[in-house]
């Protein structure tokens, strides 16, 4: 059992655990891949794009974060919460994107009967991923993910107004998330250099 005195440092460490930019880079590059795939044609691969984040994220942790901060092991309750959060985010990402793609390709079919629904459909993929980002912000306590959500939802609205391809909104959100992830990781690497004795 963790005492109050022990849990406070752990809570601060938990917040710092997400400040290296690895999560942002992994999620952002997954979105960029979704957008590019969709714009260039192979939409069947879209539901698998979130898996990129689940491969890249632990890789960045292993080769960038852990050599500088060591391997962080939280208490069992927090680890269970993290595992649940990871799988929930993956499931939501796949469902949201699949739903958005499905509705998009239903335009001209049943959705054509409702002009409003048909008009809004191109913005749904980015909006749904934005809502998922809001969930991540709440679950992990990361305010910057609200910013990513705002970019995605705004990009989705622009796509609706311009009647553009939905892939552009996902690409815009992915680029914004990736760029901020690069900034965060650059700051992290600069603030926590690898000690020379650890490199020997």
Q: Where are the domains of the chain?
A: 7-199
pLDDT (0 to 100) of residue 4: 38
Q: Would the pLDDT of 157 be above 90?
A: yes
What whole-number distance in Å separates Cα of residue 19 and Cα of residue 29? 17
pLDDT category at 43 given cuts 50, 70, 90 is low
What does pTM read for this prediction? 0.77
Question: Would you call 114 helix, strand, or coil by DSSP?
Answer: coil
Q: What is the mean pLDDT of residues 22-46?
A: 84
113, 153, 167, 169 from 160: Cα distances, Å: 18, 11, 12, 10
In terms of Cα–Cα distance, which of 62, 4, 9, 28 is closest to 171? 28
pLDDT in tens, 114-144: 566 567 778 888 988 898 888 888 877 789 9
What mean pLDDT, rounded, does the chain reach?
Answer: 77
Q: Would the pLDDT of 95 be above 50?
A: yes
What whole-number distance in Å separates Cα of residue 103 and Cα of residue 27? 23
What whole-number distance in Å separates Cα of residue 136 and Cα of residue 142? 7
């Amino acid at each position: 059992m963790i005492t109050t005195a022990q849990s406070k440092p752990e809570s601060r460490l938990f917040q710092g655990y997400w400040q290296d930019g690895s999560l942002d880079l992994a999620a952002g590059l997954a979105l960029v891949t979704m957008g590019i795939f969709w714009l260039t044609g192979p939409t069947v691969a879209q539901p698998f794009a979130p898996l990129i984040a689940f491969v890249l994220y632990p890789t960045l942790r292993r080769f960038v974060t852990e050599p500088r901060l060591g391997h962080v092991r939280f208490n069992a309750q927090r680890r269970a919460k993290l595992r649940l959060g990871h799988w929930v985010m993956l499931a939501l990402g796949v469902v949201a994107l699949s739903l958005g793609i499905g509705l998009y390709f239903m335009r001209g079919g049943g959705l054509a009967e409702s002009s409003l629904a048909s008009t809004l459909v191109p913005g749904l993929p980015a909006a749904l991923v934005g809502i998922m980002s809001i969930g991540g912000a709440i679950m992990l306590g990361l305010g910057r993910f609200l910013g990513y959500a705002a970019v995605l939802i705004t990009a989705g609205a622009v796509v609706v107004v311009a009647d553009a391809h939905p892939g552009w909104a996902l690409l815009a959100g992915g680029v914004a998330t990736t760029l901020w992830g690069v900034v965060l990781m650059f700051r992290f690497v600069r603030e926590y250099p690898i000690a020379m004795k650890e490199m020997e």
